[in-house]
Amino acid sequence: GDLGTHGGEVLLAGRRPLEAAILRTSERTRSYASRQRTWFRAEPDIHWLPPGPASVEAALGLARPFVGV
């Protein structure tokens, strides 16, 4: 797929123009993220936190038991 370095290799080899490489990489990244969300939704121990500074303490609190702090 074009996720990761392959998209850059295709671009540098001249097999895909810049605009097409950007579009393809963006599409593949969104698809990958969608598959991750689907997988994580099925995991009962996942704790979803809203983005932003207020979630930092909550995330640290959830992580502490796993890192022994």
Spatial distance between the Cα atoms of 29 and 9, rounded to a whole number of angstroms = 16
Q: Which amino acid is at 33?
A: A
Is the pTM higher than 0.85?
A: no
Measured CA distances, 49 to 30, 33, 44, 61 (Å):
20, 16, 14, 12
DSSP conformation class of 43: -
CB distance 62 to 46 below 8 Å: no
| Secondary element (H or E) of residue 28 | helix 18-41
Averaged pLDDT for residues 53-69: 88
Model pLDDT for residues 35-56, shown as the tens digit of each residue:
998 999 899 888 889 988 889 9
